[in-house]
Structure 1
Amino acid sequence: MEEFLLNHKDELISTLVVFALLLVLKFAFTKAAKKVGKIGDFNPVRTNLIIKYISIALTIVALAGFTLIWGVNYKDLGVLLSSVFAVIGVALFAQWSILSNLTAGVIIFFSFPFKIGNTIKILDKELLDPEQPQGETFTIEDIKAFHLHLRKTNGEILTYPNNMVLQKGVVLISTYDGQVISDVGEA
């Protein structure tokens, strides 16, 4: 054991530094996400989801750092990474909508001006009800990683993909506390 410690002293110290840096970054990013969530008055479930994404990203970066520290040959690493990215690329291309919804979920967390309880109207031709030519209003019931749960005026729940929310126009009708922002009849 003593021989191992003496032979790999530099690697062990570097590993401890990367691990300490990982903990500091996780703490800082978690605190920042919680602060953004508190300032934006976001649902704690959404904030925790973003914190989970941050943890996963930091873990991947740390694993890459550990791999380099412990002496993986760059040529071998290049072959490994190109193989891994080829497989991941094929998998993500096949599931691009899942990835785009997940990415949109992160964007919505940080920049979406609407919150749970707001009444909105989505400017989407496919959602137009012939009985309501001005468009139907929805109340935001929940914001998930991949989709929004919207309650129609008749009580039905509509699941709407996050990436579509970013692509379509969305009009804020009223806030969750009942403050009317715009008239429903206006387009």
Structure 2
Amino acid sequence: MEALRTLLPGQWMEPFWLGLQILLILVAAFVLQRIVARGLSRLGDRYPLPPELLVPVRGSLRWLIMGSALLFVLERLGVSATVLWTALSGFVAVAAVAFFAIWSVLSNLLCAVLIFTVGPFRIGDVVELVDTLDKPGVKGRVIAINLLYTTLLEVPEAGGTLVQVPNSQFFQKAVRRWRGTEVPVLAQDTTGEAD
């Protein structure tokens, strides 16, 4: 209150107008977001658009409107829009490079979670990754599953060595599986009893 008393009669109007402008920007952004959401809802009612399409579009437009409002508010407070865009674009570029650099690791981690939860195979099962139907792939008994690799002990006729297969490969190729103690079906067996 003491600071307001020390202001000259015309000086208190400047912060008032700045606050009013910020409030108007936020209200306009909120109203625009509501109009866009209502328009998308009407569009979805009028045309047979799936909700799986409308929900991300509505969310993206909401973030775009509110982000633009934030930029306008920061500009009114004296922050340069050029500096903000430079910082934002630099951050996005670094995040994109980091994301692509660790994509294979993230893919293997996600696939490990899927292997643990869905259970397409277990430790002790014999699995074969099929490259093509006429060419045999990696085949062995699963002896370990970790967050990045599944370790297979190759069948004795293939050499009996340990092979570490990235977990994502089990979701990119066809997989033949034989449970636990079942004997793998040989190529000349035509009964089709493979699990």
Please, what TM-score do these two structures have when normalized by structure 2?
A: 0.43
Select the structure of larger CA radius of gyration: 2
Please, what TM-score do these two structures have when normalized by structure 1?
A: 0.45
Q: Which has the higher contact order (CA 8 A, sep 6+)?
A: 1
